[in-house]
Structure 1
Amino acid sequence: MTFMDQATSPLYIQIADELRRSMEESIYQIGDQLPTEAELSVRFGVNRHTLRRAIEVLRQEGLVRVDRGRGMFVAAVPISYTLGKRVRYNEALKAHGLQVSHQTLRTIEILADSSIAKRLELEIGDPVVLFERLSLADEQPISIGSSYFPSQRFLGLLERCQECHSVSKLLQAYGCDHIRRSTRISARSVQPRDARLLALPLTAPILLTESINVDQQGRVIEYGVTRFRGDRMELVIKNDLS
């Protein structure tokens, strides 16, 4: 079918408008792969240069992502997660109207290496509980979180991790509030294991956060490392950290 230029706007804008309407009408849904450039060029009766300009409009709007070697996909609107004083990840996602779920990946006790010991203010070789889980929003993977806790502070934590996926609620069972002391944010290339779990190509970027969290007395209770899908999440820092 030839795409007819019946409007005054440039042809590539008309094509972008048509594809946008198809997304709004759920002809193409979040995560769907769009037809190839060649197929869309034939559909609209234009050359690839014009088609690529239309796709670039949608990419700039955040509606389409282009994965090198894989194709073009309908992108989801980024989920805003505010980094405030209190750590409330699940509540933040639910506030967006999302159905939140988790899959436990690992719950094991390990010995603290120099890096983990420093962040948890422990001695090297002290026992530490690692609780790792995959988080999903509306059944789509969005992050992998690895939480490290001092074992001697939280007796029986390994068993409790099997029953509770919310770290804040897990800590509340021990009478601890879950307060953010600091968070370091960086952009990284996704690692192969994380790429598989997050359904990402190996060329995709992720947002990585490293957080030190304390209880109401200021004692370190968790060192958290979270890998967020860069195309699904945006992190917002509140100045008042409340």
Structure 2
Amino acid sequence: MSSKAADVIASALRARIENGEFASGRLPAERTLSEHYATTRITLREALGQLEAQGIIYRELRRGWFRAPPRLIYNPSHHSHFHAMALEQGRVASTQVIEAREVPAQLAIARHLQLQEGDTVYRIRRLRRIDGRAVLYVEHYLNPACFPGLLAEDLTCSLTDLYDQRYGIRYGGARFTILPGPLPPRAAPALNVASGTPGLLITRINRDQHNRVIDCDCEFWRYDALCVAVEV
């Protein structure tokens, strides 16, 4: 149960944000805010937590609190790639490659790709940003037989476009699993949050136009950055 003082502070901060304060996007430090509202850090953090839960602000580890931008709308039934999806919504996307190499497939990945445990797969780890903010850590697992030489390509670009332009492979069907849960240690630091922070895990197993399983994406999203919306 929230305290009355925290409710009042949260309401006041929300009004300031909606009235255009904090134009830089960054809120004052917690110490400054607690002094301004003549309250304890515990009560202030309760108020900030309320606003965070409402999607009005977000926190980055060791950086502080920020006014939250609109969530990215993600429609799994569309085959639009990350950069195109962002552009359609007036946002600026960027991609950073963390790692790209061959690895032996662990059992779960092997099953997703219809391979044997220990078979060689391509693993590409990337960090993706919207308007400069890290929102998605993703691990792509690919069947190398479908994409010879792919690791030598520019992997900061859209894999969807690369598949089509170099290999003549286009997405056909896909199977999605969406689960809330804690962000794991390998994903959380890249997203500027503490390990265990709530996130969304989207697992997508993709087939090509010939119905072959070609890759599997394990996407770890900041929960406050995404809205999943599907038209049926």
Shift of 1:93: 1.5
Other-structure match for 2:22? 28
Other-structure match for 1:171? 163
Contact 2:105 2:118 in 1 (8 A): yes
3-state SS of paired residue (1:107):
strand
Other-structure match for 2:126? 133
In structure 2, what is the Cα distance between the partners aligned to 1:29 and 1:51? Answer: 21
Contact 1:81 1:93 in 2 (8 A): no
For structure 2, which runs of at least 5 residues remain unmatched after alignment? none
In structure 1, what is the Cα distance between the partners aligned to 2:228 and 2:20? Answer: 27
Contact 1:117 1:124 in 2 (8 A): yes
Deviations 1:116-149 (A, max 9, x none): 2211112333321111111011111010111111
Q: CA RMSD for the aligned pairs? A: 3.4
3-state SS of paired residue (1:165):
coil
Contact 1:84 1:180 in 2 (8 A): no
User: Number of paired residues?
Assistant: 228
Quote the sequence identity (%).
27
Output aligned runs, 1:1-242, within 5 Å.
19-24=13-18, 26-29=20-23, 32-36=26-30, 39-40=32-33, 42-44=35-37, 58-59=51-52, 61-65=54-58, 73-160=66-153, 162-173=154-165, 174-239=167-232
Contact 2:109 2:216 in 1 (8 A): yes
Give the structure-1-normalised TM-score.
Answer: 0.77
Query: What letter is aligned with 1:187?
Result: P
Shift of 1:168: 0.5
Contact 2:180 2:198 in 1 (8 A): yes
Shift of 1:47: 9.0
Contact 2:203 2:217 in 1 (8 A): yes
3-state SS of paired residue (2:186):
helix
3-state SS of paired residue (2:148):
coil
Shift of 1:96: 1.7
3-state SS of paired residue (2:135):
strand
Contact 2:172 2:210 in 1 (8 A): no
Q: 1:14 to 1:150 in 2, by over 3 A?
A: closer
Give the structure-2-normalised TM-score.
Answer: 0.80
For structure 1, which runs of at least 5 residues remain unmatched after alignment? 1-10
